[in-house]
Structure 1
Amino acid sequence: MDENPGLSDQYRMASPWPLFVALGLPIAELGLLFGIIPLAVGGVILFGGSIAGMLGESGYVETPWRALGVIALLAVVLGGALVYVDPMTPAPLSLRGYATVGAGLFMLLAGIAGELFAREAGVPA
């Protein structure tokens, strides 16, 4: 008698990405709350990288590296908008904007490096 009827061993039962998506933004917000910029940047990178990984795993994109590049460009634009709008608002947004721009630049570099240097298993160079 089978313990899991109807399930195949070739499919993974659970994805690790939702946990990292759920942790990315709170980590970034804690870094901003306490003024720890590397923690804020790391949280945004964790969030963006997890979204790209989830898109790649589900088959929505051909490679997660390109998705990471697009997410990075969106983060740079959003962070730049926050830095630009900062003088017009009562709450300082520039710290959040600079952290988002920095994380976007790191993700963009990782996406470019991954696209150039990461090879799929079994694909000849």
Structure 2
Amino acid sequence: MDEEPGLSDQYPTASPWPLFVALGLALSEVGVFVGLFPVAVFGLILFGGSVAGILTESGYVERPWPTLVGVGVTLAAIAAAIAVLQLPAAELVVSNIGEGPLFTRLVAVVIAGGVMAAMGGVGSIMEQSTV
């Protein structure tokens, strides 16, 4: 028996990121499709952060912050584009949040994307200030 359990000599321990990617994806799907606003926002943030973490750990990117900004901006842009293309202009008002199911869900995705982009930006600034 090995004294240090793990997958191989190259990877002495298993990565926790796949669990968080799956959990974030599941929570975001439940939140968006069922219409649970906080669950959708949390799930999307968990999913985006986990994707940034797994890409950083595997060596595809050096730092997670630009990836987090990219995922956040992409989510927000896609949700905003769907809102503009699918909803009448009269419904695209902040006072309609909670009234229409599609608009409320798209707002949740835009907010999650904005939070991710902000987190990535602040993380990048904080990292640069400590170096």
Q: More relative contact order in 1 or in 2 (CA 8 Å, sep 6+)?
A: 2
Q: Structure 2: 5+ residue runs without aligned partners?
A: 89-100
User: Which whole-Å deviations, capped at 9, do the CAs of 1:45-98 have from their partners, x for residues lacking one?
Assistant: 11111111111111111101111111111111111122113327xxx5323321
Structure 2 CA distance for partners of 1:33 and 1:2, relative to 1, 3 Å = closer
Please provide the CA RMSD for this pair: 2.6
Contact 2:17 2:53 in 1 (8 A): yes
Instruction: State the match for 1:86 in structure 2.
Output: 86
Structure 2 CA distance for partners of 1:12 and 1:107, relative to 1, 3 Å = farther
Q: Using the alignment, how far apart are the partners of 2:38 and 2:84 within structure 1? A: 22
User: Which whole-Å deviations, capped at 9, do the CAs of 1:90-120 have from their partners, x for residues lacking one?
Assistant: xx5323321111001000110011101137x
Q: Using the alignment, how far apart are the partners of 2:107 and 2:13 within structure 1? A: 38
Aligned residues: 117
Shift of 1:35: 3.0
Instruction: State the match for 2:123 in structure 1.
Output: 114
Structure 2 CA distance for partners of 1:34 and 1:13, relative to 1, 3 Å = same
**Percentage identity across paired residues of the two chains:** 46
SS class of match (1:93): helix
Relative to the length of structure 1, the TM-score reads: 0.79
Structure 2 CA distance for partners of 1:56 and 1:95, relative to 1, 3 Å = same
Q: Structure 1: 5+ residue runs without aligned partners?
A: none
Structure 2 CA distance for partners of 1:117 and 1:12, relative to 1, 3 Å = farther
Instruction: State the match for 1:95 in structure 2.
Output: 104
